[in-house]
């Protein structure tokens, strides 16, 4: 297994304690259980810098809703048993309690609003801010393929030295990647399950998203939005490699493209 | 009761019952007959939708495995019995379309709404009987068109029930028929909505104030208001899409579209996301349109069989109004990943989290109703209890997708499919089953078989959970919805056994429904006579004969109290009909 690499810290200090608490909750609960659980009870491995936040929120909500679920169903079953019809025992005549109504309005409201506020922080970091020093890639989705465009030696997209590939996304590890998503025909959705990345590619729009890989390896690109009869096989491949290997790969691609251009001219 | 068992001497102002077959059973103006027409319509479409689901699940359990006879039945979509991807897309699209628009809505609103509302408010019929007939007979051609669409070139619509543009704008002909069918059905629902609202406002019996209305009527009233306001938006969007398809407009088609290497000539100026905004502006209230009536039915049945007043009547009514209000400002949560401005996503997340509160209030009040009750486990009660326990799951799983960062991962996965089925099957359909067992005696004058009812319930409840609960696990693994063959993907390896388990459970679930169908039809002829009030309930429909006469009530009843006065300490009987005149010492009843 390759060494796990850490990305540059980009976490704003505001809200750090909240996030630490969140991770602590997820982290303390997980390892003890994780080894015993079958694979389908777990989220897939996470290989992006912000994936841990998403997973932390997922497990936090799972704990909260799980506890509410167990309590509500247990109370329901208990009432069904305890207050089953028995001869000679009349039902208790009551129309309700305003105090209880207030309690069970406010408590869920507070839980939900707190969850919303916690989610807002991660959401802002993931979708509303683009980190500095990122590598730019353009992805043009079409029925049923991913067209990828890398800046060439000039470091700029949409110039003559761009490198173009089909269904093969290579990125360097430990460096943020900014993807400009476009679509040629219908709506597609760029989904990297292990990176916790998903964004629709909408024709007529360019949507910019970012992510950063924490380790090298090979995974798949999935189309998550129904795009026609070949939707199920609109699959791509993502390769995360070291910066040197990535640079070498990009240069090879450029050289190959130049050779093909020479042959055809 | 004075209102029953009188000779057929018509009260003043009441038309005699029509005698010809056509006017009595086919083009009837009687809300009770129209309700039953909707019931048969919806149950038939429920079977169609269920069969489509079976095909979808077959493909998911055994991708590419042929089904011999289907090759003969559908040679285009399943040559040699092997399902093609485009046919698979049609199957899940039509499954959802038929279940949502042609089964659940007609069942809850068309059937129970039509049958129950005039009876529960003590009216002789709907405010506009002719409009009511027209509304049913607009829904019939809609069903014909949607079934016809299976047999046109290119097959039925395959763009998902949400039919996102531009895919839906460039799809084969089946999509046009899909649009026409839903436009017709939308018109039908609008007529129904106007009728319900007018009826509830104007035709309530003397003394029946809004806060003495049964909660079923409250739910259907709120539902009708939602329908009236939401459907025109969907219809407008569908007309625009129809124009894009046949008249060359470009409402949803941005410039520069290239389809299969060919530039699309009539593209430019449109917005793909506009469709999603319009669709979900309708689509989220639509979810509540499908769940509110079932909430009403549950709130009706729990007090009857717990022999106890509903806990927090006003909280129940207000929370429905709360849902109806908040339902308009949450549509963007379907579009978190669409490329919509992420700041907008945050506001929709907050409103979505808040809309969980009224549902929580309702759940706690249902528990409160059971607390201290004297619970009878009849078939309607078991189904209503299933509604409560399953709706809890559907409600809680909604919190996951409300959280925008979590939604990044689970959006468009089976987690969402699991969630919606816990709301629409665990919620709406168990509510509908509860209503069916509850009002069957009133509709047909006979009781359904309790033993078979319970067998049907337990088989359904267990099989249902085996089919739908694992969907959450599939979603957690990142399995996309609407996918023809997931075995192509590395991250979905190892999920086939679970999918097979779900499909086999679906066969059990389907087989269990045969029991319901047999019980339904056999009880109609052979069930024991029900009598006017077999459940000893308070609301007005139980204070007339079963089935009620053409004019419903000989004399319009006068209402003296709220609908759920059970086990009042000062009475010998544990129920207290709404129209029973107070005798002697008057009691301040709730209301």
- Quick: pLDDT tens for A154-178: 888 888 889 999 999 999 999 999 9
DSSP, collapsed to helix, strand or coil, labels residue B576 as coil
Contact B411 A205 (CB under 8 A): no
Cα–Cα distance between A232 and A227 in angstroms, integer?
Answer: 9
Q: What are phi and psi of B492, to 5 degrees?
A: -110, 10
Tokens in use for B502? 């779900």
User: Could you give the maximum distance between any two Cα atoms of chain A, in Å?
Assistant: 99
Contact A226 B257 (CB under 8 A): no
Decide which of B583 and A104 is more confident: A104
Residues A182 and A256 in one domain: yes
CATH number of the domain within which B165 lies: 1.20.210.10
Cβ proximity of B451 and B459 under 8 Å: no
Of the partner residues B361, B393, B406, the one whose CB lies closest to the CB of residue A61 = B406
The answer to whether residue B297 is domain-embedded is yes
Contact B312 A85 (CB under 8 A): no
Question: What is the dihedral sign for C-alpha B111, B115, B116, B121?
Answer: positive
- Structural domain boundaries, residue A25: 16-85+95-127
Least Cα distance to B60 among B409, B416, B492 occurs for B492
Contact A94 B308 (CB under 8 A): yes
Contact B85 A95 (CB under 8 A): no
The answer to whether residue B567 is domain-embedded is no
Which of A193, A195, A196 to mutate against chain B (most B CBs within 10 Å)?
A: A193
Of the partner residues B360, B371, B567, the one whose CB lies closest to the CB of residue A104 = B360
Rama region for B546: left / alpha / beta (φ>0; ψ in -120 to 50; rest): beta
- Taking CB atoms and an 8 Å cutoff, what residues of chain B touch A195? none
pLDDT, position A10: 47
Residue A2 has pLDDT above 60, yes or no: no
DSSP, collapsed to helix, strand or coil, labels residue A84 as strand
The answer to whether residue B572 is domain-embedded is no
Residues A142 and A107 in one domain: no
What's the pTM value of the predicted model, to 2 decimals? 0.92
Contact B478 A128 (CB under 8 A): no
Cβ proximity of B475 and B418 under 8 Å: yes
Residues A151 and A170 in one domain: yes
Distances (CA, A) of A29 to A20, A26, A55, A60: 14, 5, 12, 10
Contact A92 B411 (CB under 8 A): no
Of the partner residues B370, B403, B413, the one whose CB lies closest to the CB of residue A115 = B403
Contact A233 B478 (CB under 8 A): no
CATH number of the domain within which A164 lies: 2.60.40.420
| Helix or strand (DSSP H, E) at B574 | none
Distances (CA, A) of B312 to A69, A100, A207, B388: 22, 9, 48, 16
pLDDT, position B74: 87
Contact B405 A122 (CB under 8 A): yes
pLDDT, position B13: 72
- Taking CB atoms and an 8 Å cutoff, what residues of chain A touch B587? none
Q: Is B236 on the interface with A (CB under 8 A)?
A: no
The answer to whether residue B198 is domain-embedded is yes
Say how many CB pairs under 8 Å bridge A and B. 301
Residues A31 and A49 in one domain: yes
The answer to whether residue B326 is domain-embedded is yes
The answer to whether residue A30 is domain-embedded is yes
DSSP, collapsed to helix, strand or coil, labels residue A22 as helix
Q: Which residue of A has its CA nearest to B259?
A: A185
The answer to whether residue A245 is domain-embedded is yes
CA distance A118 to chain B (A): 9
Cα–Cα distance between B515 and B508 in angstroms, integer?
Answer: 11
The answer to whether residue A7 is domain-embedded is no
pLDDT, position A7: 44
- Taking CB atoms and an 8 Å cutoff, what residues of chain A touch B588? none
Residues 436-495 on B with a CB inside 8 Å of A are 473-474, 476-478, 480, 482-486, 488-491, 494-495
Q: Please count the structural domains in chain A.
A: 2
The answer to whether residue B533 is domain-embedded is yes
The interface predicted TM-score of the complex, written ipTM, equals 0.93
- Taking CB atoms and an 8 Å cutoff, what residues of chain B touch A139? none
Q: Which residue of B has its CA nearest to A46?
A: B409
Encode burial over B367-396: b for 16+ CB neighbours within 10 A, e otherwise.
bbbbbbbbbeebbbbbbbbbbbbbbbbbbb
Cα–Cα distance between A150 and A165 in angstroms, integer?
Answer: 8
Residue A250 has pLDDT above 70, yes or no: yes
The answer to whether residue A6 is domain-embedded is no
Residue A33 has pLDDT above 70, yes or no: no
Q: Please count the structural domains in chain B.
A: 1
pLDDT in tens, chain B (591 residues): 445 544 567 777 787 888 899 998 999 999 999 999 999 999 999 999 999 999 999 999 999 999 989 999 888 899 999 999 999 999 999 999 999 999 999 999 999 999 999 999 999 999 999 999 999 999 999 999 999 999 999 999 999 999 999 999 999 999 999 999 999 999 999 999 999 999 999 999 999 999 999 999 999 999 999 999 999 999 999 999 999 999 999 999 999 999 988 998 887 889 999 999 999 999 999 999 999 999 999 999 999 999 999 999 999 999 999 999 999 999 999 999 999 999 999 999 999 999 999 999 999 999 999 999 999 999 999 999 999 999 999 999 999 999 999 999 999 999 999 999 999 999 999 999 999 999 999 999 999 999 999 999 999 999 999 999 999 999 999 999 999 999 989 999 899 999 999 999 999 999 999 999 999 999 999 999 999 999 999 999 999 999 999 999 989 999 999 999 999 998 999 999 999 998 754 444 443
Which of A30, A45, A46, A91 to mutate against chain B (most B CBs within 10 Å)?
A: A91
Contact A112 B353 (CB under 8 A): yes
Which of B155, B161, B371, B408 to mutate against chain A (most A CBs within 10 Å)?
A: B408
Q: What are phi and psi of B243, to 5 degrees?
A: -65, -40
Query: H helices of B327-429, where?
Result: 342-370, 379-402, 404-410, 414-423
Residues A173 and A230 in one domain: yes
Residues A194 and A118 in one domain: no
DSSP, collapsed to helix, strand or coil, labels residue B549 as coil
Q: Which residue of B has its CA nearest to A76?
A: B367
Q: Is B396 on the interface with A (CB under 8 A)?
A: yes
Contact B89 A226 (CB under 8 A): yes
Residues 280-339 on B with a CB inside 8 Å of A are 306-313, 315, 337-339
Residues in chain A: 265
- Structural domain boundaries, residue B72: 28-254+265-543
Cα–Cα distance between B507 and B499 in angstroms, integer?
Answer: 13
Residues A119 and A224 in one domain: no
């Amino acid at each position: 297994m390759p060494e796990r690499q850490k990305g540059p810290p980009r976490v704003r200090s505001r809200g750090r304690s909240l996030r630490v608490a969140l991770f602590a909750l997820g982290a303390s609960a997980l390892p003890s259980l994780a080894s015993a659980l079958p694979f389908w009870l777990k989220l897939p491995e996470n290989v992006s810098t912000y994936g841990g936040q998403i997973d932390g929120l997922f497990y936090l909500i799972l704990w909260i809703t799980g506890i509410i679920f167990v309590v509500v169903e247990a109370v329901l079953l208990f009432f069904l048993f305890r207050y089953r019809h028995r001869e000679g025992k009349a039902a208790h005549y009551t129309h309700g309690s305003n105090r209880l109504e207030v309690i069970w309005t406010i408590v869920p409201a507070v839980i939900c609003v707190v969850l919303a506020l916690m989610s807002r922080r991660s959401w802002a970091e993931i979708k509303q801010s683009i980190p500095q020093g990122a590598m730019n890639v353009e992805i043009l989705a079409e029925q049923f393929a991913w067209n990828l465009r890398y800046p060439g030696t000039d470091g700029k997209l949409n110039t003559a030295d761009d490198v173009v590939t089909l269904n093969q996304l290579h990125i360097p590890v430990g460096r943020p990647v900014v993807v400009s998503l476009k679509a040629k025909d219908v709506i597609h959705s760029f989904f990297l399950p292990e990176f916790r990345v998903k964004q629709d590619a909408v024709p007529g729009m360019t949507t910019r998203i970012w992510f950063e890989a924490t380790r090298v390896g090979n995974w798949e690109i999935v189309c998550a939005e129904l795009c026609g009869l070949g939707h199920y096989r609109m699959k791509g491949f993502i390769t995360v490699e070291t910066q040197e290997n990535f640079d070498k790969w990009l240069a090879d691609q450029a050289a190959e493209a130049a050779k093909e251009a020479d042959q055809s001219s | 009761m004075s209102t029953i068992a009188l000779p057929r001497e018509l009260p003043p102002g009441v038309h005699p019952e029509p005698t010809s077959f056509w006017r009595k059973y086919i083009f009837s103006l009687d809300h009770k007959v129209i309700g039953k027409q909707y019931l048969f319509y919806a149950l038939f479409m429920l079977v169609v939708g269920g069969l489509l689901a079976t095909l979808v699940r077959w493909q998911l359990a055994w991708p590419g495995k042929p089904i011999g006879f289907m090759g003969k039945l559908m040679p285009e979509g399943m040559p040699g019995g092997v399902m093609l991807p485009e046919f698979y897309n049609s199957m899940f699209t039509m499954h959802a379309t038929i279940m949502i628009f042609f089964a659940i809505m007609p069942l809850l609103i068309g059937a129970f709404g039509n049958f129950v509302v005039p009876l529960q408010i003590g009216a002789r019929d709907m405010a506009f009987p002719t409009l009511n007939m027209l509304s049913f007979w607009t829904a019939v051609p809609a069903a014909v068109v949607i079934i016809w669409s299976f047999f046109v070139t290119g097959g039925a619509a395959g763009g998902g029930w949400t039919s996102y543009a531009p895919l839906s704008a460039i799809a084969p002909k089946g999509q046009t028929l899909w649009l026409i069918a839903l436009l017709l059905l939308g018109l039908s629902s609008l007529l129904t909505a106007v009728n319900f609202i007018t009826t509830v406002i104007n035709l309530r019996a003397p003394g029946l104030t809004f806060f003495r209305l049964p909660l079923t009527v409250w739910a259907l009233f709120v539902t009708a208001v939602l329908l009236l306001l939401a459907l025109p938006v969907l219809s407008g969007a569908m007309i625009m899409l129809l124009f894009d398809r046949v008249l060359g407009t470009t409402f949803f088609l941005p410039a520069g579209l290239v389809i299969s290497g060919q530039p699309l000539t009539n593209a430019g100026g449109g917005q793909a996301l506009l469709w999603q905004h319009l669709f979900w502006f309708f689509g989220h209230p639509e979810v509540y349109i499908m769940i509110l009536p079932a909430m009403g039915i549950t709130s009706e049945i729990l007090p009857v069989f717990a022999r106890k007043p509903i806990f927090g009547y006003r909280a129940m009514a207000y929370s429905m109004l709360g849902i109806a209000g908040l339902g308009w400002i949450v549509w963007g949560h379907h579009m978190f990943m669409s490329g919509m401005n992420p700041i907008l996503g945050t506001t929709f997340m907050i409103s979505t989290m808040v809309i969980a509160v009224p549902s929580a209030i309702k759940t706690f009040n249902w528990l409160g109703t059971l607390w201290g009750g004297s619970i009878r486990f009849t078939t309607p009660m078991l189904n209503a209890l299933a509604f409560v326990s399953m709706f809890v799951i559907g409600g809680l799983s909604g919190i996951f997708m409300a959280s925008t960062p979590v939604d990044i991962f689970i959006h468009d996965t089976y987690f969402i499919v699991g969630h919606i089925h816990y709301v629409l099957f665990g919620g709406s359909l168990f509510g509908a089953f509860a209503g069916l067992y509850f009002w069957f005696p009133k509709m047909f004058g006979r009781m359904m078989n309790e033993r078979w009812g319970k067998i049907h319930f337990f088989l359904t409840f267990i099989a249902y959970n085996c089919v739908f609960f694992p969907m959450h696990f599939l979603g957690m693994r990142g399995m996309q919805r609407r996918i023809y063959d997931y075995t192509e993907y590395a991250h979905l390896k190892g999920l086939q056994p679970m999918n097979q388990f779900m499909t086999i459970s679906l066969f059990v679930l389907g087989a269990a429904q045969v029991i319901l169908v047999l019980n339904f039809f056999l009880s109609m002829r052979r069930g024991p006579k029900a009598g006017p009030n077999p459940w000893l309930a308070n609301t007005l429909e139980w204070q007339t004969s079963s089935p009620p006469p053409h004019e419903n009530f000989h004399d319009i009843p006068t209402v003296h109290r709220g609908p759920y006065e059970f086990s009042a300490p000062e009475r010998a009987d544990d129920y207290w009909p709404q129209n029973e005149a107070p005798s002697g010492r008057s009691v301040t009843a709730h209301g």
